[in-house]
Structure 1
Amino acid sequence: MILPPPCPAPFGCGSGRRGLEAQTGSTMGGAQTRVRQLDPDLLERTGFSPEQINNLHKRFQQLSENKETISRESLNRIPALANNPIRSQIVEAFFDKRNQHGSEVGSLEEITFEQFLMVMSHFRPPTLKMTDEEKEAARREKLRFLFNMHDTDGDGTITLAEYRKVVEELLSKCGTIGQEAAKEITDAAMLEVASTNAPHMGPEDFYEGITFQHFEQILKGLEMESRMHIRFLDTATMHCGKS
């Protein structure tokens, strides 16, 4: 694997009253209030059904303590993310304007429920009604989301420094691998990318940054749905990750 594997959906959902949980299985509870009004445009832009949006709204209210916005502090308090080596990237993804399906860049201080939905829509499952073109577009959205998590400065490329930081954080829980070993792993991975995807470029050129086009090529053929999805079982229960 050249790059760290795609992240699972940051929040999965348990059944019954267990509420919102990460893939590790830690629970977070869930409020019972339903969304009073649903904007038809919101349904179209997110691809969620009214029932799915109501389920997500329950979780949003629990996280926000019934406020209208969520802060980074709220997400950082999620027990299930406490030991995740890339927790900071997962949390920051919710406040990245690039993940709002628009052209803006930069960060938000807090997010509304609508903005929360826009981020979660990157994890929506494919439907039987989707055409091949729509499925490919959804896959590309997931890849763009992952790319943005690595491209922390928002300049459109993943630099060696950005990639090394992710690798070091992923390996930080492994006591037998030190910082120097992580650096060597990063360098070797970037060299592999250069040799397999851009053989005409020298390593020193490729180190300037992996573009989104390179990123797509790296993960070409990788099955995404089991790694980045939320599966809604009914109006009261949801799951994410592999079954």
Structure 2
Amino acid sequence: MGNTSSMLTQYDIEEVQSHCKGIFSQREIISLYERFCILDRSGKGFILEDEFMAVPEFALNPLAQRLLRILEGVNFKEFVLLLSAFSPRASFKEKMEFIFKVYDSDGDGKVTTSDILGVLRDLSGSFLTEKQREQVVIQALDQAGFSSGCMLTYEDFVKVLVKANLKMEVEVPVD
């Protein structure tokens, strides 16, 4: 499985399926492997930044740079595990853990007001002023019982986001 030019064995498929906690079927894993091989233009068994950025949907994503921090040098098993967070079959906890990683820009296990503002800045572009973004963050934190200067642990972060009805799902074509 390390070299993308090789085909997946039944053992590989079952191992990846176990790694993603059964969220994807064997057929979906094979389809994802075919897509992974297309992305892995270097054939080294992992996807590099420029290979991710060659995907128009990814390159146009306002959070692309944050996602690259999580994705850089990802092998096939990690690729499938990452995509599993977007599945309708993924648990709420799995989705929240992924979102937390996106917000935690320095990977220290805490999300600061600055981290939240950074994501909001990436998402809103020029549609909101910096003052408006700050007001949105302060209001969201306040509604969840936190102050704007706090550092949120994963559990705190979930408390803030749980009021938002998040839908983070992507269909995985199997054809």
TM over 0.5: yes
Q: Which has the higher helix share?
A: 2
Task: Indicate conservation of the 8 Å contact 1:34/1:57, yes or no.
Answer: no
Match of 1:94 among 71, 88, 113: 71
Ranked by relative contact order (alpha carbons within 8 Å, sequence separation 6 or more), the top structure is 1
Task: Indicate conservation of the 8 Å contact 1:60/1:113, yes or no.
Answer: yes
**CA 1:155–1:165 in 2, change beyond 3 Å: closer, same or farther?**
same
Task: Indicate conservation of the 8 Å contact 2:52/2:59, yes or no.
Answer: no
SS at match of 2:74: strand
Residue of structure 1 in register with 2:74 after alignment: 111
Residue of structure 2 in register with 1:63 after alignment: 39
Task: Indicate conservation of the 8 Å contact 2:53/2:59, yes or no.
Answer: yes
**Aligned-pair CA distance for 1:161:** 0.9
Residue of structure 2 in register with 1:207 after alignment: 149
Task: Indicate conservation of the 8 Å contact 1:143/1:216, yes or no.
Answer: yes
Match of 2:16 among 42, 45, 64: 42
Aligned partner of 2:94: which letter?
E
- Deviation per CA, 1:25-81: give whole Å up to 9, x if none: xxxxxxxx8843142332222112221111001111111126122111211222223
SS at match of 1:84: coil
Q: Which runs of 5+ in 2 are unaligned?
A: none
**CA 1:223–1:35 in 2, change beyond 3 Å: closer, same or farther?**
farther
Residue of structure 2 in register with 1:220 after alignment: 162
SS at match of 1:92: helix
Percent of pairs with identical residues: 22
Task: Indicate conservation of the 8 Å contact 2:120/2:133, yes or no.
Answer: yes
Residue of structure 2 in register with 1:190 after alignment: 141
Residue of structure 1 in register with 2:130 after alignment: 179
Could you state the TM-score of these two structures normalised by the residue count of structure 1?
A: 0.59
Task: Indicate conservation of the 8 Å contact 1:57/1:113, yes or no.
Answer: yes
Aligned partner of 1:218: which letter?
V
Kindly indicate whether residue 171 of structure 2 is the aligned counterpart of residue 231 of structure 1. yes
Q: Which runs of 5+ in 1 are unaligned?
A: 1-32, 96-109, 127-134, 237-243
